Chain A
Amino acid sequence: MRVGLFVTCLVDLMRPSIGFAAIKLLETAGCEVQVPPTQTCCGQPGYNSGDRASARALAAKLLDEFEACEYVVAPSGSCAGMIRAHYPDLFRDDAYMLGRIERLCARVYELTDFLVNVAGLAAVPGGYSGSITYHDSCSGLRELGVKRQPRALLGRMPGVELREMDECEQCCGFGGTFAVKFGDVSAAIADRKCAAIEATGAGAVVLGDLGCMLNLEGRLRRRGNETVKVLHIAEVLAGAPGVGSR
Chain B
Amino acid sequence: MSGRGMSAAAQREARASLAQSFLARFEGLKARLPGDARAREAAALAFGERGLPGPRDEAWKYTNLRALAGMAFHEPFTVVAGCNGLLDRLPAIAAPRLVFVDGRLRQDLSRLPGTMRVSGFAQTPDFGTLVHPEREPLAALNTMLAQDGAMISVAEGVDAGTLVLASLAADVHGRPVAFHPRHRVRLARGARLTLIEISLGEGVYLHNPVSEVLVGQGAVLTHVRLQDEAPGAFHLATLYADIAARGTYDGFALNIGARIARTEIHARLGGENAVAHLNGAQLLGGTQHADFTSVVSHDAPSCTSRQTIKNVLSGKSRGVFQGRIEVARGAQKTDGYQMNQALLLSADAEIDSKPELEIYADDVKCSHGATVGALDADQIFYLRSRGVPEPEARALLVRAFLAEALDPIADETARTCLDEAVERWWERQAA
Q: Are A and B co-members of a single complex? A: no
* A residues neighboring B (CB under 8 Å): none
